[in-house]
């Protein structure tokens, strides 16, 4: 490592809370050389984002206690005057954040926000010149028709385009350091691949030193020269990328790497199920009308969310349904569960047509099909005790009451790896992984035959993700469950599925046995999707980029 451009020494950040101080960052030291890409990897709560924000003193909570040193060249940034920091931010150290939708101010045009950044540091630059420069920057980060995009509002761009614009804004003043905090986490995998390629190009062409904050080892392998692994505020592993991936010394790093679900390492396939299908979907269509008109709304167009989908699932099987955002997978899942009336087509459950069934006749069937949701925070009512949450389906279906209900709930909690003693606790007392277990217990309460899991692990950290996937597999084995596993991450889907169906623009573009779809995809979209998945293996990444 050459002369450090940025050096962080003994950085400590603690937050005073009602339960005493919480040490978010605990004695972190590292240097960043010019032109280097340094990845800081960790799970949620590891302190990686706080570290990144503290570098430019954006940790502004009045309860934060910060000590240590952050030097950019000769200048000390910790405790520097606000005016001095202001000149560093954007001009010498620029940042890109996770969610480009919320990171742009929704009420100003993209161009105006970039012009604002330029003029904040170069007040002498005229608006017209700043605008010209903005258009140039937007072109440089690969936005098509930058002259038009410059006058768009953030919500008028797609997620990938917004993140490109965000990167353009970061580059506007030619900073020496770019801090990217989970820059691709909110994006689809094909878009992620484009953004990573852009960051790689910028690093190579402009020698832009980059600190990449991420939880995803795939992203690390794609981009980083050096890696820091953070756990509970401390750096537990550091080294160049090959060393961390192939010879990790710290047990936590090893655990984290071991928990990564890899697309190129398939689990053994189970023999195909031969029985009559449990669920059979034929030519399912769901259109949403787009209405417009001055006085009376007329239908001028329709969104073909689900556009002629057919598939079937055999008892005991796991069907993986993969698609990016907007592909229609969530609409499909709601339509096949009878939660949404399809425009046309048929859904048969155990041979019985369920589209068009009345609410009352649907009721007993609902017990047979249950849902596990993506967000373990939003899907549990925060005002109910977890015992009540798990008991609710039993109560609604009139399956149990009183002491019997309570003991059943206790068994369910035990089965998903929680304690019956947790009965009276509230959801906020549990971690994300535990909450997802509660959601699973609720789904299993009625002993369903079919469980539809909609992105059940996307909101979870890698190590937790592996535990939940293991739990789902165990439960399937024990209870003979049939899963429809919906996810955007084809790596996770392959890990759990017998068969995979790939959804794109409301249609199933490909379906077949998991290894066939992943290894010999026939559809060009599936091929693109697979090629975009970052492989958590630096050597393979290099091989892929060299070709």
Partner 1 sequence: MARFAVRRLLGMAAVLFAVSVLVFVIFNVVPNADPARQLAGRSANPQLVASITDEWGFDEPLPRQYLTMMGNIFSGKVVSYETRENVDERIVEGIPETFSLCIGAAVIWLFFGILFGYLSAVRAGGWLDRALTVVAVTGISIPVFWLAAILLNYLTYKLELLPSGGYVPLSENPLEWARHLILPWVTLAVVYVGFYSRVLRSSMLDAMDEDYVRTARAKGLSERRVMTRHVLRNSLVPIVTLFGLDFGALLGGVIVVEGIFNINGIGQYAYESLLNLDLPPIMAITLFGAFFIVLFNSLVDIAYAYLDPRVRLGESAS
Residue span binding partner 1 (CB under 8 A) among the ranges 94-102, 324-332, 505-513, 539-547: 94-102
167 in contact with partner 1 (CB under 8 A) = no
- Angstrom distances, CA of residue 305 to CA of 155, 259, 319: 20, 34, 20
Q: Minimum distance from CB of 222 to partner 1 (Å)?
A: 24
Strands 499-504 and 482-487: what pairing? unpaired
Residue 58 lies near partner 1 (rule: CB under 8 A): yes
Q: How far is the CB of 49 from partner 1 (least distance, A)?
A: 11
Select from 148-156, 220-228, 244-252, 386-394 the region that touches partner 1 (CB under 8 A).
Answer: 148-156
Exactly one of 155, 359, 360, 428 binds partner 1 (CB under 8 A); that residue is 155
User: 378-397: string of b/e by CB count within 10 Å (b at 16+)?
Assistant: ebbeeeebbbebbbebbeee
Q: Which stretch binds partner 1 (CB under 8 A): 50-58, 73-81, 306-314, 421-429?
A: 50-58
**Looking at residue 89, what DSSP letter applies?**
B
Candidates 39, 66, 70, 89; binder of partner 1 (CB under 8 A) is: 89
Return the SS3 of 378: coil
Query: Smaller CB distance to partner 1: residue 115 or 508?
Result: 115
- Contact with partner 1 (CB under 8 A): which of 2, 20, 62, 351? 62
Compare residues 110 and 394 and give the one whose CB is closer to partner 1.
110
Side by side, the strands of the sheet bearing 507-513 are 369-372, 450-454, 482-487, 318-322, 499-504, 507-513
- Nearer Cβ to partner 1 (102/249): 102
Q: Which x/- pattern, by CB under 8 A, does the window 271-310 give for partner 1? A: -------------------xxx-xx-x-------------
**Candidate segments 23-31, 95-103, 497-505, 532-540, binder of partner 1 by CB under 8 A:** 95-103
Q: Is 3 in the site for partner 1 (CB under 8 A)?
A: no
What is the distance in angstroms between the CA of the first residue and the CA of the last residue of the chain?
Answer: 28
Query: Binding of partner 1 at residue 421 (CB under 8 A)?
Result: no
Closer residue to partner 1 in complex, CB, 135/386: 135
Q: From residue 183, give the alpha-carbon distance in Å to each of 90, 96, 163, 425.
A: 16, 6, 8, 36
Q: Which residues contact 186 (CB under 8 A, 6 or more apart)?
A: 98, 99, 100, 101, 159
Minimum gap (Å) between residue 153 Cβ and partner 1: 5
| H-assigned helices in 174-216 | 189-206
CB of 468 to partner 1, least distance (A): 28
Nearest-CA neighbor of 310 among 347, 353, 278, 281? Answer: 281
| Near partner 1 by CB under 8 A: residue from 42, 47, 90, 277 | 90
The residue (of 128 and 155) whose beta carbon lies closer to partner 1 is: 155
Site string for partner 1, 233-272 (x = CB under 8 A): ----------------------------------------
Based on the shown chain and the rule CB under 8 A, indicate whether residue 82 belongs to the binding site for partner 1. yes
Helices marked H in 337-385: 359-366
Judged by CB under 8 A, the residue of 76, 156, 174, 429 near partner 1 is: 156
| Residue that has been written with the tokens 């001055």 in this structure | 294
DSSP output for 397-413? TT---HHHHHHHHHHHH
* Contact flags string 113-142 toward partner 1, x per CB under 8 A: ---xx--xx---------------------
Euclidean distance between CA atoms 427 and 438, whole angstroms = 9
Q: In what helix (H) or strand (E) does residue 423 lie, and over which residues does it extend?
A: none
| Cα 169 to Cα 173: distance, rounded to the nearest angstrom | 8
Are 2 and 34 in contact by the 8 Å Cβ rule? The answer is yes
| Segment lying near partner 1 (by CB under 8 A), choices 105-113, 196-204, 383-391, 432-440 | 105-113
User: Out of 5, 32, 39, 56, which residue is the one contacting partner 1 (CB under 8 A)?
Assistant: 56
Residue 317 C-beta: closest distance to partner 1, Å? 39
Supply 342's token pair.
């399809």
CB 295 within 8 A of CB 308: no
Of 53 and 318, which has the nearer Cβ to partner 1? 53
The total number of residues shown for the chain amounts to 547
State the residues that interact with partner 1 by CB under 8 A: 53, 56, 58, 62, 82, 86-91, 94-95, 97, 99, 102-107, 116-117, 120-121, 153, 155-156, 166, 169, 290-292, 294-295, 297
């Amino acid at each position: 490592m050459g002369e450090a451009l940025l050096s962080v020494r003994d950085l400590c950040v603690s937050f005073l809370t009602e339960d005493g101080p919480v040490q978010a960052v605990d004695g972190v030291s590292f240097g960043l050389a010019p032109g280097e890409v340094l990845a800081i990897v960790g799970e949620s709560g590891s302190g990686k984002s706080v570290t990144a924000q503290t570098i430019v003193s954006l940790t502004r909570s009045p309860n934060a206690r910060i000590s240590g040193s952050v030097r950019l060249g000769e200048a000390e940034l910790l405790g520097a005057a606000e005016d001095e920091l202001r000149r560093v931010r954007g001009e010498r150290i620029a940042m890109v954040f996770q969610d480009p939708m919320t990171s742009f101010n929704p009420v100003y045009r993209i161009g105006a926000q970039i012009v604002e950044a330029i003029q904040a540091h170069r007040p002498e630059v005229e608006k017209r010149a700043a605008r010209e420069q903005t258009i140039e920057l937007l072109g440089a980060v690969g936005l098509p028709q930058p002259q038009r995009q410059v006058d768009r509002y953030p919500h008028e761009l797609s997620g990938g385009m917004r993140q490109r614009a965000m990167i353009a804004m970061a580059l506007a003043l030619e900073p020496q350091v770019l801090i990217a905090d989970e820059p691709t986490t909110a994006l689809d995998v094909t878009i992620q691949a484009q953004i990573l390629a852009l960051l790689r190009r910028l690093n190579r062409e402009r020698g832009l030193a980059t600190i990449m904050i991420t939880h995803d080892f795939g992203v690390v392998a794609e981009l980083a020269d050096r890696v820091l692994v953070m756990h509970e505020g401390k750096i537990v592993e550091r080294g160049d990328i090959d060393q961390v991936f192939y010879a990790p010394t710290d047990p936590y790093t090893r655990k984290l790497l071991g928990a990564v679900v890899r697309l190129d390492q398939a689990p053994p396939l189970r023999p195909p199920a031969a029985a009559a299908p449990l669920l059979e979907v034929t030519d399912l269509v769901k259109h949403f009308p787009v209405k417009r008109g001055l006085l009376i709304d007329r239908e001028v167009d329709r969104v073909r969310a689900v556009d002629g989908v057919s598939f079937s699932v055999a008892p005991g099987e796991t069907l993986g349904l993969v698609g990016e955002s907007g592909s229609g997978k969530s609409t499909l899942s709601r339509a096949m569960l009878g939660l949404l009336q399809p425009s046309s087509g048929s859904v048969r459950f155990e041979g019985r047509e369920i589209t068009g069934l009345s609410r009352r006749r649907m009721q007993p069937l609902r017990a047979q099909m249950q849902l596990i949701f993506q967000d373990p925070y939003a899907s549990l009512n925060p005002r109910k005790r977890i015992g009540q949450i798990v008991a609710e389906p039993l109560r609604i279906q009139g399956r149990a009451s009183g002491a019997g209900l309570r003991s059943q709930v206790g068994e369910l909690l035990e089965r998903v790896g929680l304690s019956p003693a947790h009965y009276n606790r509230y959801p906020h007392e549990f971690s994300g992984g535990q909450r997802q277990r509660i959601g699973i217990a609720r789904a299993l309460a009625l002993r369903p035959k079919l469980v539809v899991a909609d992105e059940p692990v996307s909101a979870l950290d890698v190590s937790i993700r592996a535990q939940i996937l293991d739990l789902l597999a165990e439960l399937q084995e024990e209870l003979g469950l049939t899963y429809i596993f919906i996810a955007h991450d084809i790596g996770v889907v392959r890990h759990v599925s017998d068969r995979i169906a790939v959804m794109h623009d409301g249609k199933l573009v490909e379906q077949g046995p998991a290894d066939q779809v992943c290894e010999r995809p026939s559809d060009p979209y599936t091929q693109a999707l697979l090629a975009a998945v970052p492989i958590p293996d630096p050597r393979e990444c290099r091989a892929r980029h060299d070709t």
